[in-house]
């Protein structure tokens, strides 16, 4: 009993995960008189089981099994490779006791064969899953020893309780570490927010809003600063939801035009017949309904920056006119007799592959080269998953400030879950997930995984490649009570579009294609129906 108390006291006194593992393994090895003891833990992506030098112990007579490990001092097994028994133990959460005859069956996997060769004479190999309170396998113990000892371990309550204590202490250390990390990130983010407020007169500094410490984001910020110092046309390319408009604002804010207008127009959201008048403006009487003159966006951008979002959607008829404006900085409003001048800096953005559009005849080659003076590529979220924690923390801060709440941050399991998702909607999609979770989390608490949207809302990798689900029934509409057909149809149309956008993670091009609509038409309907995704 005294030895047992000493073992448990030593285990719970550990404040370092590596030391905790060493104490656990050495205690098991010594107390149960084993020859070898090894611990396998899942990798971060869940695809492998890993063991390393500090997760393997042997008694003095047997020595350490260094030949099992590679040059980096580790060894791994694929969790889907059923040629070794670990995959079976992990998937079924059951214990396997292998004697000499059973070990002979497992000869296909070279790494396991090396491990099994440590069993000498009549030794058995006991492979036991170590589970959490929720019955999830968090590690696999591989115990090699005499036949009588390993057989008794199957029903030994002390072994079971000692392993449960190890798992509890391990989780406690992980939670403590996560809270310390979260606190540091929050403090750093608060410092950044205070810095933004003190260095920007309106409290908004776009370059600081480009959140992320990954090398891709560091490189992007450096390129933005270089681009801002010139007057070259900037072409921002990137997937939907990566933050192309934020990049454009950062270029403008760092340029010598920062005190002038930053004028935005979404080329995909405005019908083609209105786009020209929006850009160039018009004189009174230029067309039916033009009861007064109106200054166009090109004129409004004089001295500042004109940002053309979704440039790849600009109609061919306007591409030639825009090219002339870019060459001479002169334009003619609809119905006007004289040319007017506007000294603006053009920034364009698109998620479309313009080089392919040129080859397909949907985009003018001369305009493409005129735009391609200073290209900027914004990385998608999938290529910088390490930035998810920092982004999520920032979105939580914004939510707390806006709603006057105090959501502390992400639980470690929630962060792990977010890193496993696919993000066709990129940062915009992540923000939606975090804000949804904030609403379902009480003040003073961490966001748990259960607060995230259900799987129907979350675009996982396998789901993003699948066929969209069958359209749900239309809720809230009693067909027998319809007295305004137009309003009812708009409501149904809005439901269909919203559901399809959710299925594709906010990706408008994919949603439009699935509905048999041009992207421009879908964008116009979203604007008309006030759909925000």
Instruction: Tell me the pLDDT tens digit for each residue of 394-452.
Output: 999 999 999 888 999 999 889 998 998 888 889 999 999 999 999 999 988 999 988 98
Q: Give the number of other CB atoms < 10 A from CB of residue 28.
A: 21
Distance CA 339, CA 341 (A): 7
Q: What is the residue-wise DSSP string for 52-67?
A: EGGGEEE-TTT---GG
3-class secondary-structure state, position 362: coil
When pLDDT is averaged across residues 385-393 and rounded to a whole number, the result is: 93
How much is the mean pLDDT over the chain? 84
Residue 483's CB is within 10 A of a number of other CB atoms, namely 6
> Helix 485-503 crosses helix 519-528 at what angle (to 10 degrees)?
120
* DSSP one-letter code for 334: B
Q: Is the pLDDT of residue 201 over 60?
A: no
What is the spatial distance between Cα 65 and Cα 334, in angstroms, rounded to a whole number?
Answer: 82
User: Residue 77 belongs to what H/E stretch?
Assistant: strand 74-78
pLDDT per position as a tens digit, 87-111: 999 888 899 999 988 988 888 888 8
For position 477, what pLDDT does the model report? 63
Residue 378 pLDDT level (bands cut at 50, 70, 90):
very high
Q: How confident is the model at residue 298 (pLDDT cuts 50, 70, 90)?
A: very high
Q: Report whether 352 contacts 313 (CB < 8 A).
A: yes
In the structure, what pLDDT confidence band is assigned to residue 189 with cuts at 50, 70 and 90?
low
Q: 359 pLDDT exceeds 60?
A: yes
Ranking 28-32, 448-452, 466-470 by mean pLDDT, the lowest is 466-470
**pLDDT digits 0-9 by tens, 114-123:** 888 888 888 9
pLDDT of 474 above 70: no
Rounded-to-integer distance, Cα 329 and Cα 322, Å: 9
Per-residue burial over 293-313, b if 16 or more Cβ lie within 10 Å, else e, is ebebbbbbbbebbbbbbbbbb
Question: Could you tell me the pLDDT band of residue 381, with boundaries at 50, 70 and 90?
Answer: very high
Closest alpha carbon to 46 in 90, 86, 79: 79
Please give the full DSSP string across 142-156, using - where no structure is assigned.
Answer: EEEE-HHHHHHHTT-
């Amino acid at each position: 009993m005294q030895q047992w108390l000493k073992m448990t006291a030593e285990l719970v006194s550990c404040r370092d995960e590596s030391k905790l593992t060493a104490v656990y393994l050495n205690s098991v090895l010594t107390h149960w008189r084993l020859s070898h003891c090894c611990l396998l833990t899942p990798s971060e992506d869940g695809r492998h089981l890993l063991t390393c030098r500090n997760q393997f112990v042997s008694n003095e007579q047997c020595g350490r099994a260094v030949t099992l490990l590679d040059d980096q001092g580790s060894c791994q097994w694929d969790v889907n490779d059923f040629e070794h028994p670990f995959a079976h133990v992990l998937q079924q959460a059951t214990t396997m006791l292998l004697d000499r005859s059973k070990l002979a069956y497992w000869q296909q996997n070279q790494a396991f064969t090396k491990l099994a060769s440590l069993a000498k004479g009549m030794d058995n190999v006991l492979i036991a899953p170590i589970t959490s309170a929720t019955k999830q396998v968090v590690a696999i113990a591989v115990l090699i020893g005499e036949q009588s000892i390993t057989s008794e371990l199957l029903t030994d309550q002390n072994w079971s309780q000692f392993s449960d204590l190890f798992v509890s202490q391990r989780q406690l250390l992980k939670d403590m570490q996560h809270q310390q990390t979260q606190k540091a990130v929050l403090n750093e983010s608060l410092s950044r927010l205070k810095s933004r407020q003190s260095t920007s007169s309106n409290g908004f500094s776009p370059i600081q809003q480009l959140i992320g410490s990954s090398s891709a984001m560091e490189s992007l910020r450096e390129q933005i600063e270089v681009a801002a110092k010139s007057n070259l046309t900037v072409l921002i390319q990137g997937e939907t939801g990566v933050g192309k408009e934020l990049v454009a604002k950062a270029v403008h804010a760092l340029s010598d035009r920062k005190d002038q207008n930053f004028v935005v127009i979404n080329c995909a959201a405005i019908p083609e017949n209105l786009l020209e008048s929006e850009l160039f403006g018009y004189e009174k009487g230029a067309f039916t309904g033009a009861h007064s003159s109106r200054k166009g966006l090109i004129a409004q951008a004089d001295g500042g920056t004109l940002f053309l979002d979704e440039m790849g959607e600009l109609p061919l008829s306007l591409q030639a006119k825009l090219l002339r404006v870019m060459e001479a900085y002169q334009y003619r409003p609809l119905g006007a007799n004289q040319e007017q001048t506007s000294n603006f800096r053009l920034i364009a953005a698109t998620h479309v592959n313009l080089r392919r559009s040129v080859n397909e005849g949907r985009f003018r080659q001369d305009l493409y080269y005129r735009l391609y003076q200073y290209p900027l590529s914004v990385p998608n979220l999938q290529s910088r998953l390490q930035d998810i924690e920092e982004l999520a923390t920032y979105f939580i801060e914004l939510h707390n400030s806006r709603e006057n709440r105090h959501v502390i941050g992400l639980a470690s399991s929630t962060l792990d879950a977010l890193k496993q998702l696919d993000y066709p909607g990129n940062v915009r999609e992540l923000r939606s997930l975090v804000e949804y979770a904030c609403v379902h989390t009480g003040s003073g608490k961490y966001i748990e995984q259960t607060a995230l949207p259900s799987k129907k809302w979350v675009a996982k990798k396998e789901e993003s490649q699948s066929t969209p689900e069958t359209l749900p029934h239309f809720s809230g509409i009693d067909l027998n009570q319809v007295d305004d057909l137009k309003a009812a149809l708009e409501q149904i149309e809005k439901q269909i579009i919203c559901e399809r956008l959710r299925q594709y993670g906010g990706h408008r091009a994919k949603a439009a294609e699935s509905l048999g609509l041009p992207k421009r038409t879908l964008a116009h309907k979203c604007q008309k129906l006030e759909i925000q995704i």
